[in-house]
Amino acid sequence: MTTAIIGTGGLGSAIARLLASGGEALRLSSADRQAAQTLAAQIGPAAVVAVDNHDALQGADAVILALRFTVLKGVIDEIGDQLAGKVVVVPSNPLSVDPQGKVYRLLPEGQSSGKVVAGWLPAGARLAMAFGTMSADLLRSSGHRSPEPAVLFYATDDDRAGSEVERLIRTAGFEPVKAGGIEQSGRLEVGGDLHDLVIGPAEARSLIGEA
Ligand SMILES: NC(=O)c1ccc[n+]([C@@H]2O[C@H](COP(=O)([O-])OP(=O)(O)OC[C@H]3O[C@@H](n4cnc5c(N)ncnc54)[C@H](OP(=O)(O)O)[C@@H]3O)[C@@H](O)[C@H]2O)c1
């Protein structure tokens, strides 16, 4: 299967390496084209660098938008005509940094980032919020954990997006656990109770009330 990854910075590159190590074919695109090319060269034949964001989606079963929240809407608008029927995976936390270096939330308290992103997507796009539930460092060090895989939580309102993101999470070496619908995405973000946890499936399910 083939996945497009748009944005190959700290998180996008960590996701790309994990997916490639699980056998996924990747189409990479980034404003930082040099970074995308270096990453593809390190990954090997499983990763190709697309000409641009549009080209990245050619033949891809899903697209992961590993972008800062502030540029996310612009990229969705740019590739929107290709997103109908496509599984769109968004790991973005709604954060920015002020001139003093202080991190702040871009959305009002209680407003779900997933709902906001869903409102930006064209009709027919199939959204899952996933892969942004832990820091890139933790993600890198927790993939393919043995004997019990670590969990990655996701949130979606769309069954097909759910199946595809579960496949991607397993390919990356984690066990998927659904936290709930898109409105639950706040629990997955920085500051949410399910963020930055490296836990197994039983504990994860008890945290979301399934156990
Ligand atoms: N890093 C983490 O530990 C982590 C963990 C969880 C969630 N997240 C979330 O993941 C998202 C990405 O974070 P990050 O740390 O990977 O950020 P990052 O290192 O800044 O990477 C973002 C990448 O997107 C590229 N980009 C910017 N505008 C673009 C465009 N129009 N088209 C294509 N590519 C574009 C950037 O290129 P340029 O550098 O040239 O602008 C950069 O390579 C954020 O929303 C963050 O909240 C990050």
Closest C-alpha to ligand 1, atom 40: 32
Which residue spans within 95-150 are E strands per DSSP?
95-97, 103-105, 126-130
Reported as a pLDDT band with limits 50, 70 and 90, residue 210 is low
Q: How far is the CA of 72 from the centre of ligand 1 (A)?
A: 9
> d(Cα 136, Cα 97) in Å, to the nearest integer?
18
* Mean of pLDDT over the chain: 96
Q: Report pLDDT digits (tens) over 152-163.
A: 999 999 999 999
Confidence (pLDDT) at 110: 86
Query: Is the beta carbon of 143 within 6 A of some atom in ligand 1?
Result: no
Find out whether the beta carbon of 31 lies less than 6 Å from any atom of ligand 1. yes
Q: Does 95 sit in the ligand 1 pocket, CB within 6 Å?
A: yes
* Contact by Cβ (8 Å): 128, 88: yes
Q: What one-character DSSP code corresponds to residue 74?
A: H
Averaged pLDDT, 132-150: 96
Count CB-CB contacts under 10 A for residue 123.
7
Give the tokens for residue 102: 């202080």
**Which range, of 101-105, 109-113, 134-138, 190-194, averages the lowest pLDDT?**
109-113
